[in-house]
Amino acid sequence: MLVFAASDKGGTGRSVTSANLAYRRALDGDDVCYLDFDFGSPTATAVFDTPNVRTEAEGRGLHSFLKGKVTEPLRADVWSRTEHPVLSDRPSGSGRLVLLPGDRGGGEFVTDEENLHRCVDLFLRLRREFDLIVVDLSAGRSYAMDLVLAATARDELRRVPARWLLYHRWTRQHVMAAAELVAGRQGIVSHGVAMGHDRAALLGAIRFVRAAVPDLESPQWAQMPPAQYTWMRQCNKRLEELAASLEIGKSRVLGSVPLEPVLQMHEQLITDDDVLDSKIANFKTRQALVELAERLTDDKYWGQL
């Protein structure tokens, strides 16, 4: 299955959450491949704690491959290449976790027939190797998004299951921007239909992920001054109403990730050690990531709308 991670704005937690979903699926035994298609600012090597891979990717990453400068993109086995003390000890029963990094400073590029063909071929080859292929796209209506919309509209990929995760923070501006990215005149759906996608099928393959959502029922927020707490609850209600009016309400949401200090301060994978041993991360964050990873392939959360 192909999973495309998109967002209208930067700073939504798209990359770090997608990496955590890939990690969780690999822990459950799936063979997972993570592609850094954020051509303007590839950061996956930092999230997976593979600094040497970032250096090696210069001139050998996905950007160079798609432009025909190399015949194969660089691959890195995360379990063996990471410098993270927990990740480097591959858990028993886990599947493969492979990173295809982007070139450092590669930059965006316009889609043409040659790099489109390379993209289609890459997806087909990876599908034969991996259960899940996570593709992290640049923010907004980027060339990377154009490329994958065009690729998945090709006959060769039409029957390959594909799902889209649209990330946004839980603020008015981000909610409005996320809705526009999907349903706007230049959004994913209209652009995808113009490329040959079926509108209902494409819309049905899109779900939203709310990031950095305050848990107003937690003791942390309940200790706020009464006036602030009341105002926060009112804002939350208005945001729910706004999301529903823009047709990205709860029925379109695959899951929400709580406001997590670890992810705000240091974008990283949340391991069980972080929650149960060092206790630097919150249990609710771990649970949210586990649920999101499970729902990726649970058909009851998907289907045409």
| 3-class secondary structure, 216 | coil
Asked whether the predicted pLDDT for residue 145 surpasses 90, the reply is yes
Decide if pLDDT at 287 tops 60: yes
How far is the C-alpha of 244 from the C-alpha of 254, rounded, in Å?
14
CA distance 182 to 29: 32
Q: How far apart are CA 266 and CA 168, in angstroms?
A: 19
Residue 85 pLDDT class (50, 70, 90 cuts): confident
The predicted pLDDT at position 131 comes to 97
pLDDT range class, residue 9, cuts 50, 70, 90: confident
What are the structure tokens assigned to 226, written together?
Answer: 């009464």
DSSP-derived secondary structure for 238-293: HHHHHHHHTT-SGGGEEEEEE--HHHHHS-----HHHHHTS--S-HHHHHHHHHHH
Answer yes or no: is pLDDT of 222 > 80: no
- Top pLDDT among 29 and 225 is at 29
At 88 the pLDDT is 83
Alpha helices, DSSP H only, in 41-111?
Answer: 44-47, 51-56, 62-66, 78-81
Q: Is the pLDDT of residue 304 over 70?
A: no
Given pLDDT bands bounded at 50, 70 and 90, which one contains residue 305?
Answer: very low
Burial class (CB in 10 A: 0-12, 13-18, 19+), 219: exposed
Average pLDDT of the chain to the nearest whole number: 92
Greatest CA separation for the chain: 61
Q: What is the pLDDT averaged over residues 55-83?
A: 94
Report the predicted TM-score, pTM, of the whole model to 2 decimal places. 0.94
Q: Rounded to whole angstroms, what are the CA distances from 131 to 82, 92, 134?
A: 21, 18, 10
